[in-house]
């Protein structure tokens, strides 16, 4: 009998197939004491295992490229954390085996993060994955992970570590469903990059029977268990219609009556450029530069290295617009040479622009490298600061850009409610705004963007969040300046229409979402988008807002 479950859809598309569960064996080694004379040998074993796992994660990142590379390199850094390694060696010195010492040291750190309710609690799944990989190597057993199968399937997991998601084979993994995670988790972002339908935060996903047939809709978040023949036919017809619409859609983003909405790509580095170009991106709306800084957490990359990487991206979009976000360090992206290790709540502490203003040499080097990279190119370079709170922040960033001799537009990301509320003030110092809806939702609702339990508050359809977007867009219009969206909200085709109706001037997203958004925008007039936006804002919940917008656009 067909039943329907609902999670959070995070990657478009429909998949129908059999359930296969991720291996979830608990790698807990036995607790036993070793003689004192074996301690040095065990410590050496632990160090070798750590280095091997870090090397494997780095190699996986190099193979995957793009955003996945930055995520996996961050995991490799996690494996080599000096404090964790020191704790492991202390435990071995008092009698633990290497594998038990690793297990206990990581468990202690895990409890600290999860129990404190910090922003970094969202990285617990990543930490568990690193621990399991090290322990499995020390025990000489296979690493629990993606199941072996010769036939395509839908993967079910409690959560997916980045190392697993990054190398999923889309010819075998038709889609995936996780019990935990949020719409802006690493797994969700990488699923969109892969173009694999995905649903997260589905309660009871682990109870789906192995081998059961299910259908998933990555747009609506629905999971149909034992779908009827009618449901299968409807979903397959919908998938065919979507594919046809995508194939027919090309050119610049615009509504049906010709109102232009540039569709840009979010990228993590040069490795993402090819997919963005292939998807017809009109430029880059968010170039995350953190990937360059993950190679060595002890020091910043040289000006020469940065210049070369930035130029690769700029050269790919001649005459196009490339918006670069300067280094966004702190919180879930700690760097040893920049971010304090003892902040009680890193998400509310020194991160983003605050970190750079505390280290002006790092900011100056990055801005100088960007200036050099753009020399002689016709590209329209724009540079923006993360985590701008007020006009003073915006002025400090603009002053730094001018001091570095950067000939580009200077902008501010709106990720803190204060910046949206006082957007006209911020725009007295900068030339454009870009809304980072992931963090803006997190700070508006006090809801960690990586925690599935509060996923309803991370939903970009929340009317309060739409109100903040409208405030920022209205400020941009009043000042004659642009206001785009570069958060994951832009990847939702229906929400893209609403954002357009709110007055947003450009949309930036993962490359795989661009065709969906382009095709959907082209179906409606600007007036329809404006009516849908007004209807969504007049509701009291995310579900109501989504339904109201859908009703307007479908003519109901």
Active site amino acids: 186, 486
Distance CA 254, CA 260 (A): 4
Spatial contact of 79 and 91, defined as CB atoms under 8 Å apart: no
For 2, 258, 448, 549, the CA distances from 456, given in Å and listed in that order, are 25, 34, 11, 18
**Which tokens hold the place of 433?**
């705004």
Q: Closest Cα to residue 464, out of 538, 388, 376, 357?
A: 538
**Coil, strand or helix at 178:** strand
- Residue 424 is given by DSSP the state H
Torsion of CA 130, 134, 140, 146, to 10 degrees: 10
Distance CA 309, CA 201 (A): 36
Helices and strands in the chain, H and E counts = 23, 16
DSSP-derived secondary structure for 231-278:
HHHHHHHHHHHHHHHHHH--SS-B-TT--B--EEEEESSGGGHHHHHH
387: left (phi over 0), alpha (psi -120 to 50) or beta: left
Distance CA 372, CA 383 (A): 13
Spatial contact of 440 and 416, defined as CB atoms under 8 Å apart: yes
Distance CA 430, CA 393 (A): 10
- Residue 493 is given by DSSP the state H
For 138, 188, 204, 417, the CA distances from 22, given in Å and listed in that order, are 21, 16, 14, 39
Q: Closest Cα to residue 194, out of 438, 63, 11, 21?
A: 11
Spatial contact of 55 and 125, defined as CB atoms under 8 Å apart: no
Q: Closest Cα to residue 2, out of 235, 305, 257, 324?
A: 235
Please name the helix (run of DSSP H) or strand (run of DSSP E) that holds residue 128, with its range, or none. Answer: helix 124-139
User: From the centroid of its chain, how far is CA 50?
Assistant: 26
**Which tokens hold the place of 458?**
């991370």
Label the pairing between strands 213-217 and 222-225: antiparallel
DSSP-derived secondary structure for 50-74:
HHHHHHHHHHHHHHH-HHHHHHHHH
Beta-carbon contacts of 29 under 8 Å, excluding residues fewer than 6 positions away, are: 97, 99, 100, 103, 135, 138, 139
Distance CA 273, CA 265 (A): 9
């Amino acid at each position: 009998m067909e039943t329907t479950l609902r999670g959070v859809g995070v990657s478009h598309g429909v998949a129908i197939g059999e359930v296969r569960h991720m291996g979830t064996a608990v790698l807990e080694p036995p607790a036993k004491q070793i003689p004192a004379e074996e301690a040095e040998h065990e410590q050496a074993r632990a160090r070798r295992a750590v280095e091997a796992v870090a090397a494997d994660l780095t190699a996986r990142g190099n193979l995957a490229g793009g955003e996945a590379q930055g995520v996996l390199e961050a995991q490799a850094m996690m494996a080599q954390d000096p404090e964790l390694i020191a704790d492991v060696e202390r435990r071995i010195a008092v009698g633990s085996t290497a594998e038990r010492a690793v297990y206990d040291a990581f468990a202690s750190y895990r409890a600290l993060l999860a129990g404190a309710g910090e922003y970094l609690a969202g990285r617990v799944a990543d930490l568990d994955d690193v621990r399991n990989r090290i322990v499995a190597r020390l025990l000489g057993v296979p690493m629990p992970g993606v199941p072996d199968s010769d036939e395509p399937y839908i993967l079910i997991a409690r959560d997916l570590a980045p190392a697993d998601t990054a190398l999923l084979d889309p010819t075998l993994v038709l889609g995936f469903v996780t019990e935990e995670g949020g719409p802006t988790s690493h797994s969700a972002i990488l699923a969109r990059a892969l173009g694999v339908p995905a649903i997260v935060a589905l309660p009871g996903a682990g109870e789906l029977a192995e081998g059961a047939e299910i259908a998933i809709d990555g747009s609506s978040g629905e999971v149909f268990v034992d779908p009827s023949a009618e449901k299968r036919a409807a979903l397959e017809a919908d998938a065919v219609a979507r594919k046809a619409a995508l194939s027919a859609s090309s050119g610049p983003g615009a509504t049906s009556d010709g109102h232009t909405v540039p569709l840009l790509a979010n990228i993590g580095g040069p490795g993402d450029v090819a997919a963005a170009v292939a998807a017809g991106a009109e430029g880059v709306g968010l170039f995350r530069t953190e990937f360059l800084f993950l190679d060595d957490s002890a020091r910043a990359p040289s000006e020469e290295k940065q210049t070369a990487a930035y130029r690769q991206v700029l050269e790919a979009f001649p005459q196009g617009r490339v918006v670069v976000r300067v280094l966004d360090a702190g919180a879930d992206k700690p760097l040893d040479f920049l971010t304090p290790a003892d902040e009680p709540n890193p998400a509310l502490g020194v991160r983003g622009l605050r970190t750079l203003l505390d280290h002006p040499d790092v900011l100056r080097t990055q801005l100088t490298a960007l200036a050099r990279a753009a020399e002689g190119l016709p590209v329209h370079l724009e540079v923006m600061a993360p985590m701008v709170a007020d006009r003073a922040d915006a002025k400090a960033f603009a002053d730094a850009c001018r001091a570095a001799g950067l000939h580009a537009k200077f902008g501010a990301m709106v990720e803190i409610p204060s910046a949206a509320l006082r957007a006209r003030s911020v725009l007295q110092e900068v030339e454009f705004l870009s809304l980072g809806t992931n963090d803006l939702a997190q700070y508006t609702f006090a809801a960690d963007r990586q925690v599935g339990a509060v996923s309803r508050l991370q939903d970009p359809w929340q009317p309060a969040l739409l109100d903040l977007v409208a405030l920022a867009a209205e400020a941009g219009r009043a000042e004659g300046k642009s206001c785009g969206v570069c958060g994951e909200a832009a990847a939702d085709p229906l929400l893209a229409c609403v954002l357009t109706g709110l007055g947003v001037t450009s949309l930036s997203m993962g490359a795989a979402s661009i065709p969906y958004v382009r095709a959907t925008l082209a179906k409606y007039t600007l007036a329809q988008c404006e009516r849908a936006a007004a209807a969504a804002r007049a509701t009291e919940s995310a579900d109501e807002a989504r339904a109201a917008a859908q009703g307007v656009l479908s003519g109901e």
